[in-house]
Each structure stands twice: as structure tokens, then as C-alpha cells.
Amino acid sequence: MTDDLLGRHRSVLPDWLALYYEEPIEITHGEGRHVWDSDGNRYLDFFGGILTTMTAHALPEVTKAVSEQAGRILHSSTLYLNRPMVELAERVAQLSGIPDARVFFTTSGTEANDTALLLATTYRRSNTVLAMRNSYHGRSFGAVGITGNRGWSPTSLSPLQTLYVHGGVRTRGPYAALDDYDFVAACVDDLKDLLGHTRPPAALIAEPIQGVGGFTSPPDGLYAAFREVLHERGILWIADEVQTGWGRTGEHFWGWQAHGRSGPPDIVTFAKGIGNGMSIGGVIARSEIMNCLDAHSISTFGGTQITMAAGLANLTYLLEHDLQGNARRVGGMLIERLRAAAAQVPAVREVRGRGLMIGIELTKPGTDEADPAAVSAVLEEARAGGLLIGKGGGHDTSALRIAPPLTLNVAEAEEGAAILERALRSIQ
């Protein structure tokens, strides 16, 4: 059955629609932190559909909310009042930290980031955007134009003029040898120099932790230091929280809060985990920014009742069960366990991350050269051992990505770490 499905996939879907594993699997159902494939194999899920099944598979509270809403109405569009959308917007606005916040719902992180770009460029009357090297912001024409990761940039054409800034990757690049204080100072000096050579940009868009880039991040406080420079010039700060939001980093509810001494961003984008698998994205912005458009603009399926019901139930569960605290506690234990295991594997260059957002960078031993073959080999070996993980990274595919549902318990974390340790040792 799986082989037939693979053939059908290849005959009707694009060649660039990648599949994991030499023998791709069909996931048929899940429960908690586990999923099953069509051959009956059970896996511990440490990737959650690319950080999207944030809470748990088949979470009863979300399943019930979706079922009950489906029995009433699925969709009516934004042309009519929508109680679940208003209720979720109220909660998201309150949690954002942005004063007088307005919320616009979309269907994905890509659409959310495109909306943020539309708002920022309209508000500032500029199509120049600052973005981070090694970044990823989505697959639309506009989002590709600000993505600083060669592996996810299929075209150099763009409606935007994009200027790329240093700082998203702490351990590579011209400032890697500096300590954190000097690293931040050098990146700020570079930003100031760049701004002296160009017309004023609309905004800086940045992921607090770069997702597709391999879970890399700058020292805490870098974006706060950038914000001070930007604010003096009226340039907006957009925090792309598609992967870092909702407490995944453990220490903070939003990733930007690690850089928050200058206050919240002007615009925050979100998606993935808030729907726990349902298609929700969105933008939060100060009212004068959100309301700057002078023409009609909607998202047909953004804010539809069934996804909003799921989001409300999921967010309520997350807050009532302190999943941010669980990410901090269990994630802290997991990352230390993985660092101890990786210390015995010469191919591991770095274990990084925070909370339940962990990257393991692999290189050819004794060098800084990425080793995509080793990454793929570990991915395969982990799957054979009953563990699903992801991969990514700049400088070619160089990192394993670990992001389990936020309900992960200590026993499951230890089980996954043991499987991953065996997989890492297998490449020596």
C-alpha cells in the first residue's frame, strides 16, 4: 500500500515537494506524543508535523471543540460576525504585550508574514526590508524574497529590496570568535553602517530562534539592541514567532521576550502550534499599523470558525497546564542529556536551543564543513529506532531538529534521547 501511494505521490505532486526517508512513511494516526504509520509501526514524535502538533496528538479537548463546532457551522467568512474569532483575537492580543493590539488571522505562517510585510511597507511607504542571514519566512513570492537561506530560495526575483543583517547565527560568520557582548556590539555597528548606505527600510523581520535554519539564535538582547537603532529611525521590528511562540522556548512565552528590554515588537506573526494541527496563522500589530490599509483586505479561510474553536481549546489547555513550564523543565533536562551524549561523537559540532526547541549540528569531524549525509543517516537510524525528528540548517543541511509536543514527559524525553544517542553513535 505504501509503495503504491509513493508512486501515486510522485506521479501527481511536484518533484520539489520533499519526503523524509529513503522509504517514506504514511502516518495514519496519533495519540499523545506518539504516531503510527500504515504498516503499524509506532514512533515517538519529536517533530510534531514541523512544530505544528504543539500540544499532543488527538488532544481530547481540541478534538471535542472541533467536533462540536463542526456540528454547528464550519465557515461563514469574515463578512459576518464570528464569535470564536473575536474570542481568540481577544486572548492573543492580551498575551502579545503589544499596546492597543489588533489581530488578523490567516491560514499559515507564510500568509502571516506576507501580511506583516504588506502592513510594514504600506505604513512606512518603503519596499526595503531588513532580514537576517540564514532566515526562513515562508514559501510565497514575498516571503521567499526575504528568506536568507539558499536552500529555501528558489528565485532571486522579489517585489522587495532585501538587505541581510549579521547576527542570527552565533557560532558562524565573521563575528563568531567574539564574546557575546562584543558579538552584539559588532552586529549593531554593522546594522548602523548598513543603514547609512541605503534609504530608510520599512522593517526588520527576524525569528528569535531560526527554525528552518537549524534552531540557531543570537545572544539574548541582540534584537533589543537592534530595536534601539531601528526606533531612532522609525523602522519597524517584526518578530516572526511562527516556530518560537506559545511557550516552546520554556523561558518565555514569546521568543522576542529574550530580547525585550526595549519593549514588544511593532508586529508579531504566529502560526503552527496555536492550532495544534489546524490551519491557523496570524498577525498582531499596534492599531495604527494594522489599520493603515486604505483598501479592502480579507483572508477567506483565516479565522474560520472550526480553526478558531481549535485554537481557543488548545490555548486554554496550554495555559491551564503550564506547558511553557513543562517545556522549560523537560526541555532543559533533554538538552543536557543530548549534550552529554554528543560529547562522545566527533561529528557533533554543537547542541543548541532552549526549551523543547533543540538543534544538533553535524559536521565532518575536525572541520566546520556541513555533513548532510551524516544528518540523513542519523534521521534514518532514529526512525528505525522508533523516533521521528527533523532536519534543517544553513550552510547546507547541517542540523537535526528536535521539537516534541509540549506535553512531553521525562520518561519520553529519556526514551527519545537514548534512541538519538544510538543513532548518533551509528555514524562514527
Are the beta carbons of 285 and 123 closer than 8 angstroms? no
Enter the DSSP assignment of 53: S
List the beta bridge partners of residue 101.
Answer: 286
Q: How many other C-beta atoms lie within 10 A of the C-beta of residue 337?
A: 18
Question: If DSSP codes are grouped into helix, strand and coil, which group holds residue 417?
Answer: helix
Question: If DSSP codes are grouped into helix, strand and coil, which group holds residue 412?
Answer: helix
Characterize the bridge pairing of strands 236-240 and 267-270: parallel
The three cell numbers of residue 38 are 500504515
Q: What is the pLDDT along the chain (428 residues), one digit of tens a residue?
A: 456 999 999 999 999 998 999 999 999 999 999 999 999 999 999 999 999 999 999 999 999 999 999 999 999 999 999 999 999 999 999 999 999 999 999 999 999 999 999 999 999 999 999 999 999 999 898 999 899 898 888 888 889 999 999 999 999 999 999 999 999 999 999 999 999 999 999 999 999 999 999 999 999 999 999 999 999 999 999 999 999 999 999 999 999 999 977 789 999 999 999 999 999 999 999 999 999 999 999 999 999 999 999 999 999 999 999 999 999 999 999 999 999 999 999 999 999 999 999 999 999 998 999 999 999 999 999 999 999 999 999 877 899 999 999 999 999 999 999 999 999 999 98
For the chain, the structural domain boundaries read: 2-58+322-425, 64-320
Q: For residues 340 and 343, give the distance between their C-alpha atoms in angstroms, rounded to a whole number.
A: 5
The pTM for the full model equals: 0.95
Q: Cell numbers 456540528 label which residue? A: 71
CATH topology of domain 64-320: Aspartate Aminotransferase; domain 2 (3.40.640)
CATH 3.90.1150.10 correct for 2-58+322-425: yes
Q: For residues 384 and 375, give the distance between their C-alpha atoms in angstroms, rounded to a whole number.
A: 14
Q: How many helices (H) and strands (E) does the chain have?
A: 13, 15
Question: If DSSP codes are grouped into helix, strand and coil, which group holds residue 64?
Answer: helix
Q: For residues 208 and 217, give the distance between their C-alpha atoms in angstroms, rounded to a whole number.
A: 7
Residue 230's region, left for phi above 0, alpha for psi from -120 to 50, else beta, is: alpha
